Amino acid sequence: MTDSRGSDQPFLTLGIETSCDETSAAVVRGEAEVLSNVVYSQVDLHARYGGVVPEVASRNHVVKLPYVIDEALAKAGARPADVSLFAATSGPGLIGPLLVGLCHAKGMAYASRTPFVGVNHLEGHLFAHRIASPDLPPPFVGLIVSGGHTLLVDVARYGEYHVIGTTVDDAAGEAIDKIGKMIGIGYPAGAKIDELANHGDPAAIALPRPMEGSPSFDFSFSGLKTAVLYHVRKNPRERREDIAASVLASVVSVLTRKSLEAARRFHRGRLVVVGGVAANAHLRAALTAEGQARGVDVRFPPIALCTDNAAMIAAAGGFRHRELGESHPLSLSPDPSLGL
């Protein structure tokens, strides 16, 4: 496990993630050994606006990122000169926040004459699985489900992705967050809805399960959001616990059915679920149980690796550089709508 200069120093990747409202830096040794993974969340800053304000996020990344990187290096017992590769998210995400992390990584790479790679955030999410389960490589079907994305992807091997379905409107996490705002539980709503649902009746409200029965692997969550809006207007006294449980019953049912069907259709015995919504306890329980019933091995990384973090970016960047021989020129620009 040596670096690209052929010395017997361990290969260290410094990863940087700033695509949305988490400022994160991590040091990963070799393929996927996480030495440090520091995440500074800006949620408190954005909560008062009910969503992420891109300009506020960019400015806060500029202020916090140098400290977050210093802390990640210190926790890993490494100096900037020990780093073999700098990897930063180059898209998809918010343009200003992306620019901050990418420029910082390029600057450090230039100063230490070390290679640099821009990383696709979606590929990064998949590498949370490599960190958690290095012994369970592809093939598998991946479900990337977060605040910005809902994607089903057939992974023949790392680096080879075939997108088999995506959302035609809102991402699952986005719909959950918007519903949270409607019922006054603040932003982001995912973890709170998860908890409220434990005390609610999932059958209390008959909500749509959009596209659940359709033969396509695409998703749609915006109609669910509208259905909740109308229901709440008509029934202002509805218990928030029952709303949360009914919303999750719909989201979990659609995600479970479609992703297990995708695993069957693509003849994969394993389903890997990543992204912020993969932290949801109800989704984890339903998919694990239903997967067992259907002979599909369902894997979720630990929660800290499901939500945005730089360790997954470092692991994906390290893979691109070491196993695919990639490095990018310092002219690489961020791409807010980069696809997988």
The residues binding Zn ion (CB under 5 A) are: 146, 308
Q: How far is CA 140 from the centre of its chain?
A: 17
Pick 112 or 253: Cβ nearer ligand KG4: 253
Residue 58: Cβ-neighbour burial (10 angstroms; 0-12, 13-18, 19+): middle
The DSSP result for 45-78, as a single string, is HHHTTTS--HHHHHHHHHHHHHHHHHHHHHHHT-
The residue length of the chain stands at: 340
Determine if 275 is a binding residue for ligand KG4 (CB under 6 A).
yes
Q: Which of positions 6-35 make contact with ligand KG4 (CB under 6 A)?
A: 20
Q: What is the dihedral of CA 145, 148, 154, 158, to 10 degrees?
A: -100
189 binds, among Zn ion, ligand KG4, none (CB under 5 to 8 A by kind): ligand KG4
**CA atoms of 115 and 329, how far apart (whole Å):** 9
Q: Which of these, 216, 214, 232, lies nearest to 224 by C-alpha position?
A: 232
Map residues 187-206 to x or -, x wherever contact with ligand KG4 holds by CB under 6 A.
-xxxx--x------------
309 binds, among Zn ion, ligand KG4, none (CB under 5 to 8 A by kind): none
Stretches 126-134, 276-284, 290-298, 323-331: which one binds ligand KG4 (CB under 6 A)? 276-284
Cross-strand partners of 162: 154
Determine if 118 is a binding residue for ligand KG4 (CB under 6 A).
no
Nearest-approach distance from CB 247 to Zn ion, in angstroms:
21
Determine if 210 is a binding residue for ligand KG4 (CB under 6 A).
no
Pick 290 or 308: Cβ nearer Zn ion: 308
Determine if 316 is a binding residue for ligand KG4 (CB under 6 A).
no
How many Cα atoms are found within 13 Å in the side-chain-facing hemisphere of 87?
A: 32
**CA atoms of 224 and 179, how far apart (whole Å):** 9
Pick 97 or 173: Cβ nearer ligand KG4: 173
Nearest-approach distance from CB 112 to ligand KG4, in angstroms:
29
37 binds, among Zn ion, ligand KG4, none (CB under 5 to 8 A by kind): none
Stretches 30-38, 67-75, 223-231, 273-281: which one binds ligand KG4 (CB under 6 A)? 273-281
Specify whether the backbone of 275 is left (phi greater than 0), alpha (psi in -120 to 50) or beta.
left
Omega within 30 of 0 (cis) for the link into 236:
no
256 binds, among ligand KG4, Zn ion, none (CB under 5 to 8 A by kind): none
Determine if 97 is a binding residue for ligand KG4 (CB under 6 A).
no
Pick 301 or 318: Cβ nearer ligand KG4: 301
Pick 20 or 296: Cβ nearer Zn ion: 20
Residue 8: Cβ-neighbour burial (10 angstroms; 0-12, 13-18, 19+): exposed
- For ligand KG4, which residue of 90, 256, 280, 288 counts as binding (CB under 6 A)? 280
How many other β-carbons are positioned within 10 Å of the β-carbon of residue 35? Answer: 19
Q: Which of positions 158-187 make contact with ligand KG4 (CB under 6 A)?
A: 173, 176-177
**CA atoms of 336 and 97, how far apart (whole Å):** 10
Determine if 273 is a binding residue for ligand KG4 (CB under 6 A).
no
98 binds, among Zn ion, ligand KG4, none (CB under 5 to 8 A by kind): none
Nearest-approach distance from CB 195 to ligand KG4, in angstroms:
8
Helix (H, G, I), strand (E, B) or coil at 132: helix
Interface with ligand KG4 by CB under 6 A: which residues?
20, 146-148, 173, 176-177, 188-191, 194, 275-277, 279-280, 307-308
